[in-house]
């Protein structure tokens, strides 16, 4: 990679993928992250997240745990198998033993408890995109 391309890549906004099947939660989180200067891709299902990640690269995935179809844990396992070093945060109101184990095993980078505290979300996004 040339020096010019490297500098351009460093200046371009990082892309955060937000996955939640609750439209209002998805919209609030996506807007808050966009206001921080990040490019945001927001999808409402685990399948849509997989499809998008198969077509483009992202710098961080933030996913809800409980979703219809492909749930957050299944998505997390898929992300880890395809993108082993990609930061991945899970959001939930009810942390499961499986999620706690994935955090302990470093398969999930971070866990956010709902209702979300916006300051914690901002700090986590900043930390995981550096």
pLDDT category at 98 given cuts 50, 70, 90 is confident
Per-residue pLDDT band for 5 (boundaries 50, 70, 90) equals very low
Mean pLDDT of 70-79: 94
Per-residue pLDDT at 109 exceeds 60: yes
The two tokens of residue 17 are 């993928």
> How far apart, in whole angstroms, are the C-alpha atoms of residue 111 and residue 52?
22
Q: Which pLDDT score, from 0 to 100, does residue 10 have?
A: 57
Answer whether residue 11 shows pLDDT above 80: no
| Mean pLDDT for the chain overall | 91
Domains of the chain: 11-128 (3.40.50.2300)
**Between 12 and 40, the higher pLDDT residue:** 40
Neighbouring residues of 32: CB distance < 8 A, sequence distance ≥ 6: 118, 121, 122
State how far Cα 87 lies from the chain centre: 7
pLDDT band at 19 (very low <50, low <70, confident <90, very high): very high
Instruction: Identify the band that residue 99 occupies on the pLDDT scale cut at 50, 70 and 90.
Output: confident
pLDDT at 119 over 50: yes
Q: Which residues have a Cβ under 8 Å from the Cβ of 41 and sit 6 or more positions away? A: 15, 16, 17, 18, 52, 56, 58
Asked if the model's pLDDT at residue 4 lies above 80, the reply is no
């Amino acid at each position: 990679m040339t020096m010019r391309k490297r500098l351009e890549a460093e200046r371009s906004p990082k892309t955060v993928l937000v996955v939640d099947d609750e439209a209002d939660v998805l919209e609030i989180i996506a807007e808050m992250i966009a206001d921080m200067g990040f490019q945001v891709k927001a999808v409402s299902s685990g399948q849509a997240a997989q499809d998008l990640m198969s077509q483009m690269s992202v710098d961080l995935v933030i996913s809800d745990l409980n979703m219809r179809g492909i749930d957050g844990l299944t998505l997390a396992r898929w992300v880890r198998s395809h993108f082993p070093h990609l930061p991945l945060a899970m959001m939930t109101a009810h942390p499961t033993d499986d999620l706690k184990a994935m955090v302990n095993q470093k398969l999930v980078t971070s866990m956010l408890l709902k209702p979300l505290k916006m300051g914690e979300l901002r700090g986590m996004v900043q930390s995981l995109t550096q």
